[in-house]
Chains A and B, each alone.
Chain A
Amino acid sequence: RKEVEQDPGPFNVPEGATVAFNCTYSNSASQSFFWYRQDCRKEPKLLMSVYSSGNEDGRFTAQLNRASQYISLLIRDSKLSDSATYLCVVNMKNTGFQKLVFGTGTRLLVSP
């Protein structure tokens, strides 16, 4: 089983739609969770951290469910500029030191 799993998509949605992505992680001791955005042929950039109480940043809402070991990202009122790959990232510690583990990413395509 992969340490962090995401549906690769693509998710094809029209402008204005609401879309949600889920991500599951294997290590129940994981403490930090993030969503990153990656545009084609560019480096990943932090979209938002995910807190236990959930958090919202404009049209983006992130939720954490520790009991089921998944995190989610909700995008409301999708824009063309939201088209990108969204990476789920989990801070894990198996042996040794903590490390950031990335999911394979979910590709979003927003069409006019």
Chain B
Amino acid sequence: NAGVTQTPKFQVLKTGQSMTLQCAQDMNHEYMSWYRQDPGMGLRLIHYSVGAGITDQGEVPNGYNVSRSTTEDFPLRLLSAAPSQTSVYFCASSYSYAGQLNTEAFFGQGTRLTVV
């Protein structure tokens, strides 16, 4: 079972470049989310989605865009990369029912992004 697949695993960008982090899940989960993890900061929510066509901002959305055109995919776009966006990015998905999130979140393996 694939679960949550994130690509790429590693990426180096130059300041000002744009890129898209891909995330796909095959569990038919409605809820998907993106986190960044920095030393001493834990996982911080960037954006999340409760279903196709519905997204909302998390704690640290600036500099990132998302869209959810299908249930399976939830890409994260960096519009103009900055060194402050150097981090480890995790995508996660969860089963939700009637807007309730009471079950396990499944994570991708992470993307280690460096912006120079």
Contacts and interface: CB of A to CB of B under 8 A. Distances in A.
Contacts of A101: 45
Interface residues of B, number: 27
A105 B107 contact: no
A100 B42 contact: no
Q: Give the secondary structure class of B's interface.
A: strand
B56 A98 contact: no
Q: Which one of A45, A89, A100 has the highest number of Cβ atoms from chain B below 10 Å of its Cβ?
A: A100
Contacts of B101: 32, 91, 98-100
A31 interface: yes
Given A97-B48, A97-B99, A102 B43 contact: yes
A87 B33 contact: no
A31 B100 CA distance: 9
A68 to B, nearest CB: 21
Interface in B45-87: 45, 48, 50, 54, 56, 58
A44 B33 contact: no
Contacts of B35: 102
B41 A104 contact: yes
Contacts of A34: 104
B25 interface: no
Contacts of A32: 101-102
Nearest to B90: A43
Interface of B: 33, 35, 40-45, 48, 50, 54, 56, 58, 90, 92, 94, 96, 99-102, 104-105, 107-110
19 contacts: A31-B102, A32-B101, A42-B109, A42-B110, A44-B105, A46-B104, A46-B105, A49-B102, A87-B43, A91-B101, A97-B50, A99-B56, A99-B58, A99-B101, A100-B45, A101-B45, A104-B40, A104-B41, A105-B42
